[in-house]
Amino acid sequence: MQAFGAGLRHAGCRSAILKASPIASSSRIFWDPRRHASSGPLGWIRQNLGMNVRKQMTEEELAAARKDQVEKGHLSVFESLPTATEEGSSAPGADLSKKYTEHKYSTANFKISHRKLNMLGRQISGKPVDLAILQMQFSEKRASKRIKSMLAVAKDHATRLKGLQEKKLIVAEAWVTKGPKVLKRIEPKGRGRMGIREHPDSRLHVMLREGKTRAELLKDERARKLRRIVSAGITRDDVPIRNPGSSWAW
């Protein structure tokens, strides 16, 4: 009888131990809540990874979720950027009250002769900014990459910060200035002689203004060529000959 009572007491303890707990735990004693996940993994995959109809959130729920993300700082880089206004595509820092007509930009001082840099300046002067960038893209000069980057940044600043029209931008002026200092190094020569070698630096300045587009330039060129085409009229004017030659013209 005592053994039977002890067996009942132990059975009650085992049933209490093996009873499922409502709190999630990493213990291996609670078997009942683990039997469902281990016996049917396909059901868990179907429930969590399967294709289900997504419940559409209302505007209030979306606003609340976005506000929660802003408070926690979980917004992406693109969502945190300020959006452009509907009236224009200018940057938020652009001063639209003032009317700009030009934009000046320049490179930094870098190691190059002002004569070599002036050749590239004459190449892009007077051209549309897109054509100037294209010229520098396919140029074989060492400084062409630096000038191409400078033109791209100047174009972006002129359109976004000063409100100039991108299609009408031209490189109105391009000039070169020398650097503030010229590095001088000793150049040893033969027979105990030496010289001074100079390492010059210079920079390129450009002035962007609004001008005629490529289509307008082609139209003006065609009109100019058409004006040069002169044909004989139907009736000839009776104009007296002035300064006649001394002999026949044939």
User: Could you tell me the pLDDT band of residue 236, with boundaries at 50, 70 and 90?
Assistant: low
- The enclosing H or E element of 206 equals strand 202-210
CATH class of the domain defined by 103-224: alpha beta
Residue 71 to residue 73: CA distance in whole angstroms: 6
User: Could you tell me the pLDDT band of residue 202, with boundaries at 50, 70 and 90?
Assistant: very high
Parse the chain into domains and list their residue ranges.
Answer: 103-224
| Residues 208, 172 contacting (CB under 8 angstroms) | yes
Tens digit of each residue's pLDDT (9 = 90 or more) over 48-98? 777 766 677 788 888 888 888 878 777 665 566 555 444 444 455 555 678
- 3-state SS, 211-246, equals CCCHHHHHHHHHHHHHHHCCCCCCCCCCCCCCCCCC
User: Could you tell me the pLDDT band of residue 225, with boundaries at 50, 70 and 90?
Assistant: very high
What's the angle, vertex CA 98, arms to CA 94 and CA 100, rounded to 5?
Answer: 85
Residue 120 to residue 117: CA distance in whole angstroms: 5
Single-letter residue type at 185: R
